[in-house]
Structures are given as structure tokens and as C-alpha cells.
């Protein structure tokens, strides 16, 4: 998927998701990964809920493969451009 004709619309959807989680987090910045200590005292790196919701939203909207690709484009676009969408 080279072109991204729904980019502006998709970024607005992502912004709504991220804003919701920022509100839940009392305005603090969101983490891209969560570190969790399990019952065996092993540290695991998990995706936070906002990333999971972002991916699931676009997979539901566009299908598993295209939805994942759009989710990754959104996250990459923000990281590479040193910008936030909230």
C-alpha cells in the first residue's frame, strides 16, 4: 500500500483514540510500550491499551493486513516527524 488516500481521516480517528487515553492518564504523555512484571517476576514488554485500540480500530475498518499497515504508518509518521497527533 504505497498511497494513503485516507490519511487525513485516519489521523483524525487516531487523534480521537490518543486523546481519550491522554484524558484517562490525567494529561500525561503516553508510552509506546508498557513494562509488566508477571507472577514469576519476569519483565515483559507489552503494547499499551491505546496502541491495541488503535490497531484494532483500523483492522476492523480495513481488514487485518491493511489495518495493521495503516496503524504502523500512523505511529511511524508521528515518530519520524517528531510530531504528535494530540
> What is the rounded CA–CA span in Å between residue 77 and residue 47?
18
- Its pTM stands at 0.77
> What is the rounded CA–CA span in Å between residue 70 and residue 30?
20
What is the chain's mean pLDDT, rounded? 84
The single residue listed with the C-alpha cell 519483565 is 43
Domain boundaries defined on the chain: 7-76
Give the up-direction half-sphere exposure of residue 64: CA atoms within 13 A in the CB hemisphere. Answer: 0
What pairs with residue 36 in β-bridges? 44
∠ at Cα 65 (61, 58), nearest 5°? Answer: 25
- pLDDT tens track for 55-84: 999 999 999 999 999 999 998 887 776 555
Amino acid at each position: 500500500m504505497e498511497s494513503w488516500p485516507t490519511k487525513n481521516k485516519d489521523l483524525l480517528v487516531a487523534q480521537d483514540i490518543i486523546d481519550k487515553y491522554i484524558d484517562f492518564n490525567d494529561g500525561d504523555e503516553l508510552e509506546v510500550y508498557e513494562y509488566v512484571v508477571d507472577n514469576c517476576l519476569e519483565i515483559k514488554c507489552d503494547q499499551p491499551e491505546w496502541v491495541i485500540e488503535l490497531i484494532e480500530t483500523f483492522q476492523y475498518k480495513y481488514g487485518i493486513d491493511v489495518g495493521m499497515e495503516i496503524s504502523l504508518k500512523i505511529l511511524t509518521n508521528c515518530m519520524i516527524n517528531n510530531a504528535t497527533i494530540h
